[in-house]
Amino acid sequence: MMRDERKVKIIDVKESILEDNDKDADLLRQELKNEGIFYVNIMSSPGSGKTTTLLQLLPRLAKEAPCGVLEADIDSDVDALTIAGAGYPSVQVHTGGMCHLDADMSRQGLRELAAELWPAEEKKPAIVFLENVGNLVCPAEFDTGAQLDLVILSVPEGDDKPLKYPLVFQKADAVIVNKIDALEVFDFDLKKFRANVAERGPAPVFAVSAATGEGMDELASWLLAQYREWRNA
């Protein structure tokens, strides 16, 4: 099998025994600030394009800071292999059936990723993405300790999703509409979607295509601006 040639580290994370995840997430945010990891949580339905969006963003961001990815899944290592194949440190986190990651599960994954991100002595500030479990419900309920929460919604899923999954859009720092190259094939009203998102919260909406790269420069610029602000804070 091909997989033998391209291996990634797979870790089985344990559900946190801490009762107060929100408190632990704040603690993790502080730990990551001290260590120099800008941690970005990406939430979406299965198949809306988290991995392909990352493949577009990573080269744009890596000019400024080393980048890595935590891939969370119930099972399989296909996404971590894809990211590793593109040349970025990646660790596959298996949740053992759980539909979300909490702060301590993030911490377990980040510990493993740090070794690959910083093989040398010097720890240069880095940007680490979490590809959360594909799910618009549960991940929204758990603070992962990330600095930013991004939500990806792809055109084929429909413009009504902020009505049905309010919390994830309410928590989003930015909303990414992916697969806009397929806008003509599907009945998706971008204006209506923007209005539906605005009902949930003030998150900016970026319209992109991970297939063609459209809109990715703008999204990367916004992310870098957030990263710089965090570094200087």
Q: Which residues bind a second copy (CB under 8 A)?
A: 45-48, 73-76, 78-79, 97, 99, 133-138, 141, 154-158, 160-161, 163-167, 179, 181-182, 185-186
Closest approach of a second copy to the CB of residue 181, in Å? 8
Taking the least distance from each CB to a second copy, the nearer of 118 and 188 is 188
- CA pair distance 171, 149, nearest whole angstrom: 7
* Residues 74/133, Cβ–Cβ less than 8 Å: yes
- CA pair distance 110, 106, nearest whole angstrom: 6
Closest approach of a second copy to the CB of residue 32, in Å? 27
Taking the least distance from each CB to a second copy, the nearer of 73 and 112 is 73
Closest approach of a second copy to the CB of residue 99, in Å? 4
- Name the E strands within the chain: 9-12, 37-44, 67-73, 90-94, 126-131, 148-154, 174-178, 205-207
Closest approach of a second copy to the CB of residue 47, in Å? 3
Taking the least distance from each CB to a second copy, the nearer of 37 and 207 is 207
Q: Copy the structure tokens of residue 130.
A: 């979490």
Taking the least distance from each CB to a second copy, the nearer of 81 and 113 is 81
103: DSSP letter? H
